[in-house]
Amino acid sequence: MPAPRDIHNSTTQLLSVVMFVIGIALLVRTFTAGGGVLSLGVLLGVLFLAAGAGRFMIARRRR
């Protein structure tokens, strides 16, 4: 059975990837619906991308 810390790290990485994918989906959905560069969907998409990528990189360094 894996250690609780290993489960935590794996879950953090998984949720980081999910956040990254949500950011991509928000961007695609916003641009296909005709949203502009300054629309809320683009802002949220970029923030989700950044948060997911940042969390993933930090989680990988801690190993």
pLDDT at position 5 is: 86
Contact 55, 8 (CB under 8 A): no
Decide if pLDDT at 12 tops 70: yes
What pTM was estimated for this model as a whole? Answer: 0.88
Distances (CA, A) of 62 to 9, 10, 42, 43, 57: 9, 12, 30, 29, 9
What would the pLDDT profile of 28-56 be if each residue is shown by its tens digit? 999 999 999 999 999 999 999 999 999 99
Return the domain boundaries, the chain: 4-61
